[in-house]
């Protein structure tokens, strides 16, 4: 009876160990990401001071990084990146430190991701691409004080369902119809890398502290992201 009891306990313990392993979060992968976004904001009308005017402000990836880090100076060591897990259930827009080789700040975090997979090779063992739509909340960091983003785009997948970068971008059939374009590296003109993991476009808004110390609403009617080479496994 005692032996049977220990067998039962051992079986339960083994099952618990398996469940613990299965409960581990899906692996995350971080990709260098370039951005080009046009923000719309209100500014005082210099003629009629009791009214406001609408102005536009072009933003590159380094601008988003600088604002999140609390500065208006371009930071050459910190760059914009997208972190996405295998299975596409979680994603973050992050600041990646090139010296530390680490993500040092989370700009926005997904609250929901819906993705559809496909493959262009019927002999492939698994889907090799997907198209996604994700909703994200903007965190309060530096000059950024909350907000939201909707990001829609595509990524290449490996046989484990993990995002991956490729040398040749062959999944461009719907780019024109869905307004996905390649954004050059406006942060580092010496970057000649050709790898690409996908494309995306964004809309949303962020609250940003401006020079006067006030918090302004920055509407983001439309912007583009290019998901490039992998930085972290």
219 with 206: CB under 8 angstroms? no
> In the predicted model, is pLDDT for residue 26 greater than 60?
yes
203 with 221: CB under 8 angstroms? yes
> In the predicted model, is pLDDT for residue 204 greater than 70?
yes
Lowest mean pLDDT among 49-53, 99-103, 156-160: 49-53
> In the predicted model, is pLDDT for residue 219 greater than 60?
yes
In angstroms, the CA 21 to CA 177 distance is 42
Residue found under tokens 């496909």: 118
pTM of the complete model: 0.86
Domain ranges, ordered by start, for the chain: 26-232
> In the predicted model, is pLDDT for residue 11 greater than 60?
no
Among candidate residues 102, 96, 37, the one with its CA nearest the CA of residue 65: 96
Q: Which run of H or E residues covers position 38? A: strand 28-44
pLDDT score recorded for residue 3: 43
């Amino acid at each position: 009876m005692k032996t049977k009891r220990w067998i039962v306990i051992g079986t339960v313990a083994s099952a618990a160990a398996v469940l613990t392993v299965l409960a581990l979060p899906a692996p995350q992968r971080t990709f260098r990401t370039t951005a080009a976004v046009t923000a719309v904001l209100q500014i005082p009308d210099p003629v009629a001071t009791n009214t406001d005017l609408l102005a536009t402000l072009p933003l590159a990836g380094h601008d988003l990084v600088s604002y999140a880090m609390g500065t208006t100076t371009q930071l050459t060591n910190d760059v914009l990146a997208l972190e996405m897990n295998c299975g596409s259930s979680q994603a973050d827009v992050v600041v990646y430190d090139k010296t530390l080789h680490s993500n040092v700040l989370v700009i926005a975090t997904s609250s929901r991701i819906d993705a559809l997979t496909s493959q262009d090779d019927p002999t492939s063992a698994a889907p090799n691409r997907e198209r996604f739509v994700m909703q994200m909340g903007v965190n309060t960091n530096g000059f950024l004080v909350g907000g939201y983003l909707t990001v829609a785009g595509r990524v290449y997948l490996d046989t484990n369902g993990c995002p991956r970068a490729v040398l040749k971008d062959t999944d461009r059939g719907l780019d024109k119809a869905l307004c996905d374009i390649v954004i050059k590296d406006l942060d580092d003109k010496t970057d000649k890398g050709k790898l690409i993991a996908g494309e995306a476009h964004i809309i949303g808004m962020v609250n940003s502290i401006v020079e006067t110390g006030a918090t302004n609403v920055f509407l983001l009617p439309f912007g583009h992201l290019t998901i490039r080479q992998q930085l972290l496994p």
